[in-house]
Structure 1
Amino acid sequence: MHGQVTGLAYAICYPLLAAFGVPGNLATIVILSRGRCGLSRCITRYLVGMAVTDLLVLITAVILNRISVIYFPVLFLSTTPVCSLKIALIYVARDCSVWLTVAFTFDRFVAICCPKLKAKYCTERTAAIVMGTLCAVSCVKNFPWYFVYEPLYIIDGVPWYCNIKLKFYTELFWTAFDSIDRILNPCAPFVLMLLFNAVTVRNILVANRARKRLRAHSSGENQSDREMESRRKSIVLLFTISGSFLVLWTTYVVNFLYVRFSSSSYSTGSSGNDPRFILQESGNMLQLLSCCTNTCIYAGTQRKFREEFCNGLKYPLNLLIKIVKS
């Protein structure tokens, strides 16, 4: 009974993720692309890229994988060639999403902590190069996943579902490939984001103390400090995005470390009330939830984004009123 409740919860949560995340990311892409949110072109470029990759994760991992398997288990998406391609695309989209978040965190780290490098690195052109490079590397890195799987069943000559080949666990190439993949995601991004944020916080605290001392001896003490206000907005945006990422990925990373260092294996889900399965699926769900939160973060921290979002919601209503009046 408990296993049925757990399965029902997942069957409800994944459609909710798609229903909220897909429109939210589409709205974010449109609003940020208009360039009216008061953000620099460099930041806007990263945020649009993150929204696009988050949208791709939701389409591939949630809609084409989780929802299709739950509600349409016997579909052409479950044939082995399509299933293998789908899994490879999930890994590509996930890596792009994660590493673009790391790239954005590093960009803000440079902007706040490395003023001499800021003018050269924190530009729209550099952001485009970094994003293009990360996406290309993600595609190349995850291409081998297509060849990891074999059919679970062959019915009337048609291969169905994906089963990991035995050589994936025995051959040196695949063992090395799996280890490198695990290091590059989730270990390295998680550690890098913790490191960049820790150094950024330390730099901010030191800079704020120095600025307060300077202002205390200046005649303009009561004047608004525009630079501090600009830095504050940038810092709030950085910490809410990276903090949300770290919190929502923690369960996934904990489960990964547990499996890796306990010589255990991932749960197959044969028992829905297995604590390891619940931990594993909760980590996967929270990881996918991280692709839905940035829209809420922008709306909560950026006044102009809220205004553009509200204007977008009002537009269909205003259009309908005009049509009725005419």
Structure 2
Amino acid sequence: MVAMATADLLIMIINVILYNIFSYHFPLSFLAQTPVCIFLIYMTAITVHLSVWFTVSFTFDRFVVICCQKFISKYCTKRTAAVVITTFAILTFLNNIPVLFAFESEQLINKVQWGCRSSFVFFTSPLGIAYVWFYSAWGAWLPFTLIALLNCFTVRRILEANRARRGLQGNRIENYCDPETESRRKSIILLFAISGSFMLLWLTTTVSLVTTRLTNTSYYRGNRRDPGYIATETGAMLKLLSSCLNPCIYAAAQTKFREELKMVLTSPWTLILRLVRKRELKDSS
């Protein structure tokens, strides 16, 4: 969850603030120079893919905890978490390297390259077309499918376990609160809050990617009134909204997260109060 929160924060900084706000409203700034612009696009792809695959990792982690009891002791460790996070980070940086060659400068002013646009040579070449399909599958189709399947298996397991547990506790009092069932309930709420919001907010992007790839629609060079272009831009907005929503889910679902957030918000006032009291004691003495 720390890795997910970090990736979401990077999306807010790089994708939203730097790319969608500063680059758009300040077209002649340092960010508009072609090398910087291309690197910024490269980083936007990386941050989105990190957020996506960390969400998949979290969903798989919940799946292991609930459905694979014998595998918990081997998988659910700090070492495994570090290996998974590092592996996905390295893979994401490597498989997005072609993005650096997929764009070119828009104009040359005083021997300085400004702006960046999609390279027609890259996107029409066989390797470019293959990479576009791979990019779509890695960034949307495969994660979407994995999260849906893992959620189905997890829900089925929870329902079966709860049904069996209720059968064993049939003679207990009606208002008895089962801690195991309550723990599962909280786990499934957190799971569906994160992965469910991801699936809903990424649905438009996934569908638009399927339609534009299968119909060979170059929406990045198309008419802005075209339904494919509108669907693509709407999906881009919703997937950024997903990263804004995740921290709110952490705060609502996780007690420790709320406690840490409360401590961060109250610590400055606590420090000021301590200084005031110390000053009062010093004056009184």
- For normalisation by structure 2, the TM-score amounts to 0.90
Percent sequence identity is 45
Equivalences for residues 75-86 of structure 1 within 5 A = 75-86=29-40
Closer/same/farther in 2, CA of residues 148 and 265 from structure 1, 3 Å limit? closer
Which of residues 204, 209, 212 is equivalent to 1:251?
204
The answer for the alignment partner of 2:119 in structure 1 is 165
**Is contact 1:267-1:276 (8 Å) kept?**
no
**How far has the Cα of 1:267 moved from its partner?**
4.9
Alignment partner of 1:93 is 2:84 = no
Residue-by-residue CA offset, 1:156-189 (whole Å, 9 max, x unaligned) = 1101111222221332222212211111111000
SS of residue paired to 2:219: coil
Corresponding residue number in structure 2 for 1:229: 182
The residue that corresponds to 1:112 in the other structure is: 66
Residue 319 of structure 1, CA deviation: 2.8
Structure 2 residue corresponding to 1:293, chosen from 215, 237, 245: 245
Check whether the contact 1:107–1:122 (CA below 8 A) recurs between aligned residues. yes
Structure number with the bigger relative contact order (C-alpha 8 A, sep ≥ 6) is 1
Structure 2 residues not aligned, in runs of 5+ = 280-285
In the TM superposition, what is the alpha-carbon distance from 1:220 to its structure 2 partner?
Answer: 8.3
Q: Deviations over 1:189-245 (max 9, x none)?
A: 00110110011111111111111111125x688654222222222221111110111
CA contact (8 A) 1:215 1:221 kept: no
Provide the TM-score with structure 1 as the length reference: 0.79
Q: Which runs of 5+ in 1 are unaligned?
A: 1-46
1:67 is aligned to: 21
CA, structure 1 residues 292+180, in 2 after alignment: closer, same or farther (shift >3 Å)? Answer: same
Alignment RMSD (CA, Å) = 2.1
Other-structure match for 2:270: 318
Cα distance in 1, alignment partners of residues 186 and 79 from structure 2:
23
Counterpart CA distance in 2 for 1:322 and 1:123 is: 39
Q: Is the Cα–Cα contact under 8 Å of residues 268 and 277 in structure 1 kept in the other structure?
A: no
Given the superposition, is the C-alpha separation of residues 77 and 302 from structure 1 closer, same or farther in structure 2, using an over 3 Å criterion? Answer: same
CA distance in 1, matches of 2:185, 2:58: 16
Taking the aligned partners of 1:74 and 1:228, their CA distance within structure 2 comes to: 58
Aligned partners of 1:214 and 1:184: how far apart in 2?
44
